[in-house]
Amino acid sequence: MIYDGSGSLKDCEFVEDRRYVRAFRNKFRTNTRHIIANSSAIAHRTISTNVTIPKDVKKWLDYPRMKGLCKQNHKKLKEELISDRRRNGMTLSTRTRRDMSYLFQIPGTQWCGKGYRATKYTHLGSFSKTDRCCRRHDTSCPYWISAYETKYGLFNWRLNTIMHCSCDERFRACLKMADTSDANFVGKLFFNIVQTKCFVLKVKKLTLQYIFNTSDLRNLQTQRRIQEQLLVMKNCFFT
């Protein structure tokens, strides 16, 4: 759940895949132990029963309620996006750029953040190395799914475009090679804080049988066909 400064829900996601839930819980426990072990200034308390849960925390543990709020938020965002695009003569099939995050704009760049600042492809901000990474990421990825668009069997309910994981991996590597404070900031914002999803495609083998003679079934031909199929949505972290 992502909230703005006034407490309004801006974005959210719920995951039902047990593998990802288990991985998240394990990572959360590991990070919590690390924080407790390395910081004496942070107070912590173990909550073992429902009775000891503070009232202001209980609402965050009501999963059905949180899931309902998340669905309402997705519906509201979709309606607002459709209305806005109609006013501007756009359609849902129009490709939108891959925002670093629709909540942020990155100072010192022309390509990193909400919308383009650059008026030409050659225009770069003062953080030119980081800007080149963002520019390539936003303009050269061959596989993408725009906001509220269905493609490759997946509906993207997010306000930002999601891209093929190879494009995100290349973007991550570019930022790491830039090795500047601003590149590290963009990488941590994009991959660790916003945790934007990506997708991959896999080759699926289909077996087709052809009967050339109805009285003789000995002639069977096996043919391969490549089918693009969504394999998994996943995160890539920046360390």
Residues annotated catalytic, as ranges: 137
List the one residue out of 121, 149, 137 whose CA is nearest residue 191: 137
| CA proximity to 146, closest of 156, 138, 137, 136 | 156
C-alpha pair distances (Å), 126 with each of 123, 220, 224: 10, 64, 50
Structure tokens at 159: 């306000």
Q: Which residue has the tokens 């819980």?
A: 25
Specify the DSSP element, H or E, that contains 172.
helix 165-178
Whole-angstrom distance, CA of residue 125 vs CA of residue 118: 8
Give the whole-angstrom CA distance, residue 86 versus residue 94: 12
What stretch of H or E contains 2?
Answer: strand 2-3
For residue 26, what are its two tokens?
A: 């394990």
